[in-house]
Every structure is written in structure tokens, then in C-alpha cells.
Structure 1
């Protein structure tokens, strides 16, 4: 089982029994999402932004405007921390204190590098697009040269990472199990609904196969 090495950055101290450093588990949590939060420091001030991402092996791609403060900062080699979280359910205990949540979360660390060639930019944008909706890249118009010129695509290797996962029901104080209070889990399920066409779409254009497959897979 291949793991990320524990270090001062990624080591989980609080709730260590829920921690994992297993690469495949961490990658599966990353691949189940498409929005991350990236934090970094500019001139001594902390910043955090939500953005779309894609994973290619041990590399993460993000993109944005070349004029973006975030893109400019990260292209200078600023260390970044990235977080992805999935909320899977609410855990309702008998006491207010022991209420919790079931979740899967990943924190990773790396240093961004700007990709320069059009080939590398297109690959990064492909990875991001396919992570958002598999099969969509081949359905739509690819980026023009003008669009590539105004877009920064950043790539960073996952230098270290860790995940925390909670599953199961509440853990109450022993005396509280006798209380007349309902306890259990309230699962949270996020899934695609039926595709809705753009109001300006021509009537002769069929629904996106990528959208249909995503909807069908989510709804059985």
C-alpha cells in the first residue's frame, strides 16, 4: 500500500484514528470532487480561493485569468495548501455536544508551476474539464488561441497529503443511551438532475451524451 510520508505539514494529530495517508484513498476522494479551496500567502497576508481542479496522477491542475492575483502569485512558486471536502451526512446524537458529521476530506501541499506551451495548456484544461464532466471535452469547441493566451494553467505535484474520513453513527455518553431522544444518521446525497437545455439552443441539437450518462449513472 503506497502512502504519502508523514511530516510536520500533513500529519493529523486531532482525530488521528480517522486519518489516512494511503495514496489511492486520497486520490479517490480528490476524483470524487471538482471544486477545491486553495490557500496561500501574499506579502504576509493569507488568501483562500475556491476553484475547479483536475488530477492527473500525482499532479493537480487549476486555471484562471493571467491577470488574476492568485495565478500571478502561484506562478512565482508560492507554496500552496489545497483542501477538498465531501459532506456525506449529519450525525445526530442524543446530546447536543456529540453531534457530528460524516465526511471525506483531503489536505494537500505543493508548489505551483505555470505550464507554457499550448499543448501543455490544453492537456491541463482537458484534465480539469474531464474531472468536472467525463466525456465533455470531445463534445465542445476546444480553446482558441486567444482564449489560451489569456488563461494561466498551473500544475503542481502533490508533495504531501493526508485525508480524514468519518463514517458511522453517533457516539454518546453511556448514560445518554437511556434518553428518549432519537439518534442516528441523516445521509446527504448529491446527484445530477435531468439535463435542462439552454433557452437559446437550436431545436435540432441532441442532449449532451456526457450529461445524459452522468445523470443516468447518478440515478441508477
Structure 2
């Protein structure tokens, strides 16, 4: 394979990964919006978009394998990029699964969820998680060590917000037992969001590995 064609394919992989990341970030944002606005159409979009994201991840991995098989030798820096690309794609696919699960909770029981207004504390927490996902993608786009380290550092703040939200939801369940089912769903959703933030941290760690830091 000509070096110019090889470089073009490397850059194409990078662009595809960023496109995948944008789709995943949008899925998470819409999943939260479906809960907040009680919009089943938005929830269904997230659920259906998960299939597109799965296919995009599979296609990306196939292209990485093909490039590894057809380009020899591969310099260490390029090999590292290919490994990181696959790893980040897998992290993004898991975040998309979380978003689909969140949307699915509402889509299956819209009448029940419509009886409950999401507390501002929950929305703030969800936005911080979404922002960490966004920053992790920015870190990869810019190959920026500082942004990557900021994502990792933010995890402490997000964990603290999660703990506070969990306590508030438990209190809500005790004071309004008739809303117990909804509160349990929100507690589970907050746990899923925490795992999504952890995945963003994993992406940031991969960026640091790519940089060699």
C-alpha cells in the first residue's frame, strides 16, 4: 500500500471515530431529554440509533483489522493509534448502550414517568456526565493531554454528585412512597450515568496512552 493511501486511511479512521463519538453524545443527550420532556419519539430515536452505532463500531473495527493486515510494517505510533481507535470505539458503543437503556426505561412506561418531574439536581448531574463524554472526544480530536487529564479529574466531582443525588432520591422514596417505582428507575438511571462517566474517563486514559503520557 502506498504511504499516501495509508495515511489517508488512517485519517479516515480517525474521522469515523469522531463521527461515532458525535452520534453517541447525541444519543445520551436525547436520552436525558426524553426523560425530561416525556417525549416518546425522542426515546424511540435513541433506541433505534443504537443499531446504527453498533454497526458503525463493527465497521470501524473491520477497517482497523484490514489496515493491520495490509500495511506492513506499521510504525509504533501508528500501531498505538489503531489500538486506541478500537478501544475508544468499544467505550463509545457501551455509552450508547447506556443511553438506549435510559431511553428504554421511559419508552416502556411513559404514563408512569410522565407523572414525575425530573429534579434539577438530576438534570445537572446528567449534563455533567454528558459534558465529560464531550470533553473526552475533544481530547482525542486535539490529542490534548490537559483536556484528557481534566476528564479524569472531573470523575471525582461526578462521583460526589452521584452520591448526593442518590441520597436525595432515597429521601424522595421515603417521603412519597407512591412514587417508589419511578424513584427506583431514576436511581438505576443515575447509576448508569455514573458508568457512562467512567467510560469517558477510560477514553481520556486512552488518549494519554496515545500521547505516551
The TM-score with structure 1 as length reference comes to 0.26
Q: What TM-score comes out, normalization by structure 2 length?
A: 0.27
Q: Which has the higher helix share?
A: 2
> If each structure's strand is expressed as a fraction of its own residues, which one has the higher value?
1
